[in-house]
Amino acid sequence: MIPAPPDATHDPALTSWVESANDPATDFPPQNLPFGRFRRKEGDRWRIGVAIGDAVLDLAHARVHDGDDMNALMAAGVDLRVALRRALSAGLARGAPQEAEWRRCLVARTDVELGVPCRIGDYTDFYTGIHHATNVGRQFRPDNPLLPNYKWVPIGYHGRASSVIASGEPVRRPRGQYKDAEAATPSFGPTRRLDYELELGLFIGAGNALGTPVPIGDAAAHVFGLTLFNDWTSRDVQAWEYQPLGPFLSKSFASTVSPWLVTLEALAPFRVPFTRPADDPAPLPYLSDAADLAAGAFDIVLEAWLQTAAMRAAGTPAVRLMQSNFRDSYWTPAQLVAHHTVNGCNLRPGDLLGTGTQSGAAPGQGGSLLELSQGGRTPLPLPNGETRAFLQDGDTVILRGHAEAPGRRRIGFGDCAGTIMPAG
């Protein structure tokens, strides 16, 4: 399937009658139009909205889409999503005849609660960040950091969907079992090595029937959109439990997702060729497609920011810890869908695929504190004199992402934030 090229909805000259959407610094200009769920107060039903500048457009109230079920909208497929995007773009454009009516359908983002963008039935976390895999592997296997299957198989594990939470919800420090290297027996208590992982989340739109694999050429059409995703991790619990079956309690206590689904259509101008080093093996045929090679990767800048409790008390803003780019991912979104379904596994609307930690090649581009602090051996200095090897209670981690290219309007994902609370 050849991705649809940019169209009038991506025109960098396009402006909106929602003036905040014309601010060059906004994540949500009229070229973006991400989907999410909101409600005005606790107890209200969740409604489908689109972010535009500092506001949310209520789709049902604006009579653009009938219904409040995001999963049903996602299941409807690409054609409906494209038609909605074009209708929204036209109606929000400066001078649109819908302005007077739609102004009554706008609500300030500060006046609503934003939730997880849809009902998540299943969650799979992949391991597509080769620089992260290499950095972590080198800490345990200095001479052979990548296992033999890494460059052949999109590695993943089945995570816990019930503990995926919305940006802004606090994260309780988990308790668990861990074993110090010098100890004869394991200990139990609050994790001492709590970490974040900078990832993207891929949300499935139209699903596939059980027993029916999705061909690589059709796979991208099954991805509704992308979000930021923080796969919080207890490193001491992880080190003790992960062999032989992989992550369990070290991951399942919480994962945070940003509230806005940035569609693949919005990201069309930021597609880039999928490339690998010349001496790496070519993907097997079921993971290889000419269109995916030509434009299956995405140029998305990713960042992790930290504000400690002391910084917050002093009125000091969050500090950026690192920056990387999703174009360095070792597998494309289409390859993840094709591999996940090749055995006949059925994906359903709203299923979440995590990309794995997105680190860069440079030493300061680690997508986790495990990398930035070299396993805790070299704590990271902060501007206020504090240091961090791993997260402390009161720390707020904020993930941010944006896509930009020459001659295109910058679009963003909104914040994915969570604050660490003491163990209960």
Boundary (domain end) residue, out of 79, 114, 149: 114
CATH number of residue 75's parent domain: 2.30.30.230
Number of domains in the chain: 2
Half-sphere exposure of 191 (CA within 13 A, CB side): 28
346-356 confidence digits (pLDDT tens): 999 999 999 99
Where among 114, 135, 161 does a domain terminate?
Answer: 114
Stretch 35-47: mean pLDDT, rounded? 93
Domain that holds residue 100: 8-114
- The percentage of the chain sitting over the pLDDT mark of 90, rounded to a whole number, equals 94
Claim to verify: residue 401 and residue 304 sit in the same structural domain: yes
Q: Which residues are catalytic?
A: 132
Q: Is residue 2 part of a domain?
A: no
pLDDT tens for each residue of 76-95 = 999 999 999 999 999 999 99
Mean pLDDT of 385-405: 98
Using CA of residue 246, residue 248, residue 250, residue 252, what is the dihedral sign? Answer: positive
Residue 337: pLDDT band with limits 50, 70, 90: very high
Q: Minimum mean pLDDT among 127-141, 308-322, 363-377: which range?
A: 127-141
Cβ count near 354 (within 10 Å): 27
* 319, containing H or E segment: strand 319-325
Q: What is the pLDDT of residues 348-383, one digit of tens each?
A: 999 999 999 999 999 999 999 999 999 999 999 999
CATH number at residue 130: 3.90.850.10
Q: Are residues 103 and 204 in the same domain?
A: no
Which are the contacts of 244, defined by CB distance < 8 A and separation ≥ 6? none
Are residues 394 and 263 part of one domain? yes
Q: Do residue 92 and residue 129 come from a single domain?
A: no
**Residue appearing with tokens 């800490």:** 139
Provide the pLDDT confidence category of residue 3 given band limits of 50, 70 and 90. low
Alpha-helical regions (H) of 106-234: 130-140, 216-219
pLDDT for res 41: 85
Residues 260, 55 contacting (CB under 8 angstroms): no
Residues 30 and 145 in one domain: no
Does pLDDT of 4 surpass 80?
Answer: no
Residue 274: name the closest of 322, 344, 219 by CA: 219
Q: What is the mean pLDDT of residues 136-160?
A: 92
Say if residue 238 is in the same domain as residue 257: yes
Q: State pTM to two decimals.
A: 0.97
Residue finishing a domain among 114, 132, 149: 114
In the predicted model, what is the mean pLDDT of residues 28-43? 95
Q: Are residues 195 and 109 in the same domain?
A: no
State whether 282 and 402 are in the same domain: yes
DSSP at 281 = P
Residue 379: partners with Cβ closer than 8 Å, 6 or more residues away? 373, 387, 388, 389
Query: Which among 128, 121, 122, 307 has a CA at the least distance from the CA of 200?
Result: 128
At CA 224, angle to CA 54 and CA 298, rounded to 5? 80
pLDDT at 140: 78
Contact 74, 68 (CB under 8 A): no
Q: What is the pLDDT of residue 143?
A: 84
- For residue 3, is it within any domain? no
Within a domain: residue 378?
A: yes
Domain membership of residue 362 (yes or no) is yes
Q: Assess whether 277 and 390 both reside in one domain.
A: yes
Whether 371 and 389 share a structural domain: yes
Residues 74, 77: Cα–Cα separation, whole Å: 6
Q: Model confidence over 197-256: pLDDT tens digits? A: 999 999 999 999 999 999 999 999 999 999 999 999 999 999 999 989 889 999 999 999
333 and 208 in a single domain? The answer is: yes
Average pLDDT of the chain to the nearest whole number: 96
Single-letter amino acid, residue 423:
A
Tell me, yes or no, whether 174 and 70 share the same domain.
no
Residue 364: the pLDDT is 96
Residue type, 359: S
